[in-house]
Amino acid sequence: MARFVAKHLLFLLLTLLVVSFLVFTLNEFSPGAVARKVLGAYATQEQVDLLTTQMGLDRPLLVRYVDYVRAVLSGDLGQSARFKAPVRDVIARHLANTAFLAAIAFACIVPLSMILGVMAGMREGSRLDRVILILSTVVASIPEFALGVFLASVFVVWLGWLPGTATLVAGGGWSVAAQLVLPVAVIVLFDAGYVVSMIRASMVEVMQRPYIRTAVLKGLSFRRVILKHALRNAMLTPITVIMLQINYLVAGVVVVETVFAYPGFGRMMLEATLFKDIALVEAGALVAVFLAVVTNILGDLAYVLLDPRIRA
Amino acid sequence: MTTPETLTPIAADVVVPSSLTTPRAGGFAGWRHLALVTESVPATVGLAIVLAWALLALLAPLIAPYAPNASDLAALARPTPSRAHWLGSDHLGRDLLSRILWGARPVLVIAPLAVLGAAALGSLLGLTAGYYGRWIGLVITRACDIVLSFPVIILYMIILAHFGSSAWNIIGVLTLTKAPIIARIVRGMTLDLREREYVAAAKMRGESSLYIMLVEILPNARGPLIVDMCLRTGYNVIIIGVLGFLGIGLPPPDPDWGGMVKDTYGMMMVWPHMALVPCAAISSLVVGFNLLAVGLRELGLRD
């Protein structure tokens, strides 16, 4: 167990180092450009050169990178040019909003896709299986922004039941809860389609194992075979997939946040990259990768804990 | 799929479907595969959708009623579908049907090209990692893991916002981010295939490593790869749409489905059709690719 954790932590560190270096190099590839961006198009070349020297941007890349890592390690992530606030506060605020949205969506996705996936996979080729398979394929095929537009045109434009934006500020006669319905629905539909097909595939495979046949021939009821025998093994492979969805829910929901003007982490990153807010982009990328690798590790850990055969 | 040529010594009690044994008239192998695809309903529907879009994209210059960027000032006042504009027109009075038809062209070129690029790069990396093993394999798999651990959408935003967006840059980032997944699949299969007798035989004949990887191993790994490439093409269509929607896709004014949604979804309350039409187009194309993949996998499992 200790070896497992140590190995993964090492990989986490390596990944963070590589990613931070790549993003750093990418953003500061042309040192003059940073000063030019700050001063604008009408500054003279001398002014640009002066600021470049003042900011220390004429020093070698590696030296600046080491300085940057040192600053990050001491908790100083810099100042956001876009939001005019410390990067740490900006990220914390947006990440909290996204975590709120993600938690609600996750709480819907897991039970929904487990029920549908198991129901489809327990009798492969049955009519129910075909319907669930085709439906989940179709739903997972529609891009999130299209799902958002489709749902909004029905519930916002046509029926007028829900608001079209989720700014988290109650206003225009809509509560925050009503604002959250559509974003959560889009995320759940798009993501559950994929998770359902993974759980279904795993269930189909488990149902073909000899021990299931034994259980059936022993005279156990089908319900008991599914709940007591098949379910545990069928959830082994998808548990990693389910954990990976956390990663998607935090960093991948840029589109949903943009559609519904939700003040979350993904939209913050989009604004930061478009605005070339370098400090925010760098820190945001690190946070995203950190979350991605950690959920990966948690997925592996859950797998090990569920399957006694690997737990050495 | 085994080819009919290798099936000739058939045991008497094995029933082989006639579509596999008798070559069709004309002898073009593609027809046989096509006949096989029609045995699965999802694959047939998927293929039909994809082919229909390909045909529409190909014929766009001939069948599009207007030039894709031409504004019809008369349509500005009433942009809803009419006899002059079958699907209506957008906020600048441009004909939606023409823009949809023209917009199919970049998507149907970029998405498959990026998949081919990813398949080529990924196969090469996967073969190398699986065939040589040891530290080369370790370095390649670790590098792939790092790319895969990065939330791709954020990677796209950083790269495309920095280098600017063009068709080639989109193909580039799609290739780079999808290759590791293909590499993983190919590596797994190579680890298994390299222990086969025919690989040992080729080594004995003194063939080079490159020959063995490309001629002996890769063709035997193509089955799962083809299904995966279909899925990837569908996902690439989604990503191209998403990039357009986020404002980092193909540059305007030429029609791009995602960009068309971005420009008009703010007017949903007044003119919902402007955003709905491109959304329907992109969704139907992705559904086509994914149904094709589901069907192909089904057919693969049946053999």
Contact B99, B90 (CB under 8 A): yes
Rounded CA gap, B5 and A185, in Å?
A: 52
Amino acid A112: pLDDT: 92
Q: What is the CA radius of gyration of chain B?
A: 23
Tell which CATH architecture fits domain B30-62+87-302.
Answer: Orthogonal Bundle (1.10)
- Give the three-class secondary structure for B94: strand
The amino acid that residue B160 corresponds to is L
> Mean of the pLDDT values across residues A25-52?
71
Other C-beta atoms closer than 10 Å to the C-beta of A55 total 14
Q: What percentage of chain A's residues is helix, strand, coil (to nearest 5)?
A: 75, 0, 20
Residue A40 included in any domain: no
Amino acid A240: pLDDT: 76
Amino acid B188: pLDDT: 83
In this complex, do B149 and A292 lie within 8 Å of one another by their Cβ atoms? yes
Q: Which of A19, A143, A156 sits opposite B282 (nearest CB)?
A: A143
Token pair 């560190």: residue: A13
Model pLDDT for residues A237-265, shown as the tens digit of each residue? 788 788 878 878 877 788 899 888 888 89
CA-to-CA separations, A177 to A105, A106, A150, A300, in angstroms, rounded: 13, 16, 20, 34
Residue A46 included in any domain: no
Residue A2 included in any domain: no
Amino acid A34: pLDDT: 66
Non-local CB neighbours of A142 within 8 Å, separated by 6+ positions: A150, A189, A190, B283, B286, B287
> Mean of the pLDDT values across residues A98-102?
90
> With contacts defined as CB-CB under 8 Å, which chain A residues touch B286?
141-143
Model pLDDT for residues B99-158, shown as the tens digit of each residue? 999 989 999 999 999 999 999 999 899 888 888 877 888 888 888 888 887 788 888 888
Instruction: For an interface test with A, give the residue of B41, B141, B144, B153 to mutate (most A CBs within 10 A).
Output: B153
Q: What is the tally of structural domains in chain A? A: 1
* Nearest-5° Cα angle at B288, B284 to B294: 140
Q: Is the predicted pLDDT of residue A86 greater than 80, yes or no? A: yes
In this complex, do B154 and A27 lie within 8 Å of one another by their Cβ atoms? no
Surface-to-core class of residue B138, CB atoms within 10 Å of its CB (0-12 exposed, 13-18 middle, 19+ buried): exposed
Provide the token pair at A304: 């090990």
> With contacts defined as CB-CB under 8 Å, which chain B residues touch A137?
42, 287, 290-291, 294
Amino acid B110: pLDDT: 92
Closest-CA residue of B relative to A292 is: B149
In this complex, do B286 and A141 lie within 8 Å of one another by their Cβ atoms? yes
Residue A74 included in any domain: no
Which DSSP category does B6 fall into? G
> With contacts defined as CB-CB under 8 Å, which chain B residues touch A134?
42, 291, 294
pLDDT over 70, % of chain A = 93
Domain boundaries, chain B: 30-62+87-302
Nearest partner of B108 among B63, B54, B166, judged by Cα: B54
Nearest partner of A186 among A147, A135, A217, judged by Cα: A147
What CATH code is carried by the domain that includes residue A220? Answer: 1.10.3720.10
Nearest partner of B16 among B38, B40, B32, judged by Cα: B32
- Give the three-class secondary structure for A85: strand
pTM of the model: 0.81
Rounded CA gap, A263 and A83, in Å?
A: 12
CA-to-CA separations, B239 to A96, A225, A252, B159, B235, in angstroms, rounded: 26, 41, 12, 14, 6
Q: Is the predicted pLDDT of residue A177 greater than 60, yes or no? A: yes
Q: Annotate B79-108 with b (16+ C-beta within 10 A) or e (fewer).
A: beeeeebebbbbebbbbbbbbbbbbbbbbb
Q: Which of B161, B279, B287 sits opposite A150 (nearest CB)?
A: B279
Residue A61 included in any domain: no
Rounded CA gap, B226 and B235, in Å?
A: 14
Rounded CA gap, A31 and A34, in Å?
A: 6
Task: Report the DSSP pairing between strands A79-80 and A85-86.
Answer: antiparallel
Amino acid A71: pLDDT: 81
Token pair 């200790």: residue: A2
Which DSSP category does B91 fall into? T
Provide the token pair at A102: 């993600």
> With contacts defined as CB-CB under 8 Å, which chain B residues touch A165?
none
Rounded CA gap, A179 and A100, in Å?
A: 13
Provide the token pair at A162: 């829900």
Consecutive 10-residue runs of chain B (303 residues): their mean pLDDT? 35 38 46 72 89 92 83 77 80 86 91 92 89 83 81 84 84 90 86 84 85 83 78 89 88 85 84 88 92 82 58
Rounded CA gap, A147 and A145, in Å?
A: 5
Rounded CA gap, B202 and B180, in Å?
A: 28
Q: Which of B162, B276, B283 sits opposite A153 (nearest CB)?
A: B276
N residues, chain B: 303
Amino acid B25: pLDDT: 42
> To the nearest 10°, the Cα dihedral for B241, B260, A105, A270?
80
Residue A45 included in any domain: no
Q: What is the CA radius of gyration of chain A?
A: 24
Other C-beta atoms closer than 10 Å to the C-beta of A61 total 14
Amino acid B16: pLDDT: 39
Q: State the residue range of the domain holding A117.
A: 88-276
Q: Which of B162, B241, B276 sits opposite A143 (nearest CB)?
A: B241
